[in-house]
Structure 1
């Protein structure tokens, strides 16, 4: 079979056209609201994606394209939801509060959780109990685990798509961080053996920093280690079973192994922090060579009570205005540190659906 991928780790993805300010403003509003109602009479060309990890666990979603922008929105059964998808002939329209909001909408197929890549979760259970996460603890998932063999089957099916460009692997922690990383390393190695040139991203947690090198040796090309929030005192509330210091040390080690611009980390917006807190976190990570990813908090029945108890107040969805303002600051800090979201070939910065992405949306 001819190789579909480049010979180096430099991105060969086509450079997307600049997203207009109007497209970005509309995307930010969709992210603020976060859910859309699709009537039964609307003919959808593909199945919805079902999330098994993070705050969106248990939710189904579709990805929508408009202009040069794209966004992934959870589905709701509430016919009175603020966002509603309509269809006239073959054309899709998103309505906001009863009025036309975005016309000429396209439905983007999600290969396996994300466009153009298979983003696979090896376990839908996690014992870490982070406040924002809706993933159930050990024994609480109906999804269970994804074996290496099954993951390879999913990848092989999606490899046939001409739009398939990357693999990303993550996992909840159903037993121990050590055992989970062994499974991720095994899976990454199996993918690399079958697909020698495919970019492989890993989203993981670490206690033993030697695991990072083992994942690199197995075939991983990019790494995501989530700091989640800033500063330390807020991290300790949100993630009581994780170490702030070890997470930062793991990020530093990952940059040493994978290189600047090949390591990323989520910072969640909406956990009671100030904009100055977010900016401080961005500056700290970019100073290490890490490209942060800003993500608005997702709220639902499975995490609202946990969040209120852990953080001392109920978070609210992040406004479009705040997403845009922080997105612009984020971009400026990246540029000052000679970093870009465009150096990534896997995971969130190539998906571009769930966040305001610097160098793409702003």
Structure 2
């Protein structure tokens, strides 16, 4: 029986379980399965990794305090959320716990997203029957080369792609949000090619910026520059909206993105504020997940003004 659940700090504040200031209110309730130990996988960037020495109350730079499940269920309506997003770590009873949590969430009548490691189609169908409409897939790495170096995982590169296909088959096209982390050592070309492959199979892409956290294997690595991240965001947007194909993008000999294949003035007119905002399931704004509050966010939790977007786009072209 599930007794505890982790709640992201901002979500807990919005619910009244914690007191604190929010620069941006979460529009989705971000929750995580509770497990007293480490994940069975050993991703080099992850706080929850099998060999991580980091604080298990964290995921990326966000603190996730644990609360009794009953208290969370009572407080959730106070947050005014439009969706529940359940993050999972991999442990022996994970699937059973997720199914129980979905049953407990049902009276709230909110759509539910679940981010999870590969499970069978039968499990996916059980999730769907319990109100889940989107699945988050933690591919994370933009190439098999990077995957093998940072994803010490129970699941291979090919198995992650097969799982993505299973999600699309069970839930429908566009219902798999595949997570990709910018800054793990990939080239821009690798990132663009993987995003294009995902959009080609009718999956969606959620971009994250690598965040070094003390106690992880990559604690001394550097996050991506904001300029590079903005260029990858722009490429993702153009691919998603079918405004450009992979053949249109230009790269130098090092695989760095140097052009988008669209004249600058035309591109300035095409880019919407959503290009630089959090791209996730409906109702997801994921405020300050991988950035510090006093700095310009990698992913804006609310759409920036059009004139600001024009300035961003002009600066990165």
Report TM bin, short chain. Answer: 0.5 to 0.7
Normalised TM-score (structure 1): 0.58
Q: For residues 229 and 94 of structure 2, what CA distance do their matches in structure 1 show?
A: 33
Deviations 1:6-59 (CA, angstroms, capped at 9, x unpaired): xxxxxxxxxxxxxxxxxxxxxxxxxxxxxxxxxxxxxxxxxx9289xxxxxxxx
SS in 2 for 1:135: coil
Does the C-alpha gap of structure 1 residues 324 and 181 become closer, same or farther in structure 2, counting only changes over 3 Å? same
The equivalent of 1:344 in structure 2 is: 281
The equivalent of 2:9 in structure 1 is: 49
Q: For residues 243 and 203 of structure 2, what CA distance do their matches in structure 1 show?
A: 10
Does the C-alpha gap of structure 1 residues 49 and 203 become closer, same or farther in structure 2, counting only changes over 3 Å? same
Does the C-alpha gap of structure 1 residues 62 and 49 become closer, same or farther in structure 2, counting only changes over 3 Å? farther
Superposed displacement of residue 263, structure 1: 1.7
SS in 1 for 2:181: strand
Does the C-alpha gap of structure 1 residues 139 and 263 become closer, same or farther in structure 2, counting only changes over 3 Å? closer
Task: Output aligned runs, 1:182-221, within 5 Å.
Answer: 182-192=96-106, 194-195=107-108, 197-221=109-133
Is contact 1:287-1:337 (8 Å) kept?
no
Does the C-alpha gap of structure 1 residues 133 and 206 become closer, same or farther in structure 2, counting only changes over 3 Å? same
Deviations 1:266-317 (CA, angstroms, capped at 9, x unpaired): 11111111111110110111112111111110102112xx138xxxxx5311
The counterpart of 1:324, out of the listed 217, 225, 230, is: 230
SS in 1 for 2:178: strand
Task: Output aligned runs, 1:86-101, within 5 Å.
Answer: none
Superposed displacement of residue 152, structure 1: 4.9
Segments of 5+ residues of structure 2 without an aligned counterpart are 1-7, 12-19, 59-63, 245-274, 290-297, 310-317
Q: For residues 153 and 297 of structure 1, what CA distance do their matches in structure 2 show?
A: 33
Does the C-alpha gap of structure 1 residues 352 and 257 become closer, same or farther in structure 2, counting only changes over 3 Å? farther
Superposed displacement of residue 136, structure 1: 5.2
Deviations 1:79-128 (CA, angstroms, capped at 9, x unpaired): xxxxxxxxxxxxxxxxxxxxxxxxxxxxx34xxxxx12321111353120
Q: For residues 181 and 279 of structure 2, what CA distance do their matches in structure 1 show?
A: 21
Q: For residues 282 and 220 of structure 1, what CA distance do their matches in structure 2 show?
A: 24
Normalised TM-score (structure 2): 0.66
The equivalent of 2:81 in structure 1 is: 164
Does the C-alpha gap of structure 1 residues 337 and 204 become closer, same or farther in structure 2, counting only changes over 3 Å? farther
Does the C-alpha gap of structure 1 residues 116 and 151 become closer, same or farther in structure 2, counting only changes over 3 Å? farther
2:65 aligned with 1:122, yes or no?
no
The equivalent of 2:185 in structure 1 is: 272
2:214 aligned with 1:289, yes or no?
no
Q: For residues 133 and 217 of structure 1, what CA distance do their matches in structure 2 show?
A: 31
Q: For residues 131 and 218 of structure 2, what CA distance do their matches in structure 1 show?
A: 36
Q: For residues 51 and 30 of structure 2, what CA distance do their matches in structure 1 show?
A: 22
Q: For residues 307 and 142 of structure 1, what CA distance do their matches in structure 2 show?
A: 16
Task: Output aligned runs, 1:23-172, within 5 Å.
Answer: 49=9, 63-64=22-23, 108-109=24-25, 115-124=26-35, 125-135=38-48, 137=50, 150-161=68-79, 163-172=80-89
Q: For residues 151 and 21 of structure 2, what CA distance do their matches in structure 1 show?
A: 29
SS in 2 for 1:264: strand
Aligned length: 241
Segments of 5+ residues of structure 1 without an aligned counterpart are 1-47, 52-60, 65-107, 110-114, 309-313
The equivalent of 2:299 in structure 1 is: 356
The equivalent of 2:262 in structure 1 is: none
Is contact 1:286-1:337 (8 Å) kept?
no
Superposed displacement of residue 219, structure 1: 1.6
Does the C-alpha gap of structure 1 residues 318 and 171 become closer, same or farther in structure 2, counting only changes over 3 Å? same
Is contact 1:188-1:218 (8 Å) kept?
yes
